[in-house]
Structure 1
Amino acid sequence: MIISDEVKGNSLIGEATINLIFNREEVTLNTLLIQLEFIAEKEPGLDKRLMINEVRRWLMSYFSKETFSVDKSNWLESALAENGESNSLPPIHSVSSLDD
């Protein structure tokens, strides 16, 4: 993909991700693929549907065995270790200002 296509692809992934979050659904490769398919079905423009199809194909490549190899599954721990940081991350706390 050329850079402008990459930006468009990232925007589509972001759109699908936001839709999933607003619908209180889990964001996974599978749910992203399903959401992108849903977006494509509603899209009247051929160019955008083709771009969505390309993004879906790119995401599907992450289902390959090579992607989920042991070497790549602990990339965060490896990066932290290289920087001399602890591999135990602090907990994430949710703060909701809407409930106040």
Structure 2
Amino acid sequence: MTPGNRHCRARKHRGLSLRQLESLTEKMGHKVHRNTLSKIERDRYSTFSPQQIRVICLALGISADWWFLGDDRPANAVGAYNHGLSKNEKQSVLQTISLLKKLLGE
């Protein structure tokens, strides 16, 4: 399952449309546009800001580890679990970790 698939699954599990999720992120202080959310679900969006990651995770009630890696393993354990990922998927994971570190002030 890709990050886009997990995002879509979490959104549908919460019973939200893309429009409703867009509205929720706006109410939470950082609007993520519906077209961006759609691209995320189709794995066509790979440049996330720390604010986007944070607000989407909060709105959907998911962890960034689950969203991007498929489970709740610590992000620093990616090296041990990256077998079978494409070059683009590995790059996306590393970008996400870098953004999360910035968000957390590390």
What range describes the TM-score normalised by the shorter chain of this pair?
Answer: 0.3 to 0.5
TM-score, L = length of structure 2 = 0.32
> Which of the pair has the greater relative contact order for Cα pairs under 8 Å at 6+ separation?
2
| Structure whose alpha-carbon radius of gyration is higher | 1
